[in-house]
Amino acid sequence: QLETLEQEEQECLELRPHPTEKRTHIVSHQHGMTVTKTLQEGQAEPQCQSFCYSRARLRGLLLEGASLLLLRVLARRQTMPPDLVFPAMDTEGDLCTSSY
């Protein structure tokens, strides 16, 4: 039983004159998961947005770390089950599906 407790992602674009930094923080809690997105462009004030997903909506969720582990297991077994699809999160923190 593997479960993602917390995940942090950071992207930086070094474009002059306005470098951009984007962070996504995902944390698991009793009722589901909270996603906090922060965007900072140049010297402007960071823009922050936070939202939650219930445990019911996240059932079977496969985040980045778990996805890498699954890919390693599949490569080791040298087999791929047909129609392998999991709930996932895109780079914006929205729910989507991940197909292998």
Domain boundaries, the chain: 6-99
> Is the model's pTM score more than 0.85?
no
Q: What sign for the dihedral angle of Cα 13, 96, 61, 71?
A: negative
Rounded to whole angstroms, the Cα distance separating 86 from 75 reads 18
Nearest-angstrom CA–CA distance, 50 and 34: 7
* pLDDT tens, residue order, the chain (100 aa): 667 889 999 999 988 888 999 999 999 999 999 999 999 998 889 999 999 999 898 888 888 878 888 889 888 998 888 888 888 888 788 889 888 8
The pLDDT score that the predictor gives to residue 38 is 95
**pLDDT confidence of residue 81:** 84
- pLDDT value, residue 25: 93
The per-residue pLDDT for 1 is: 65
pLDDT value, residue 39: 94
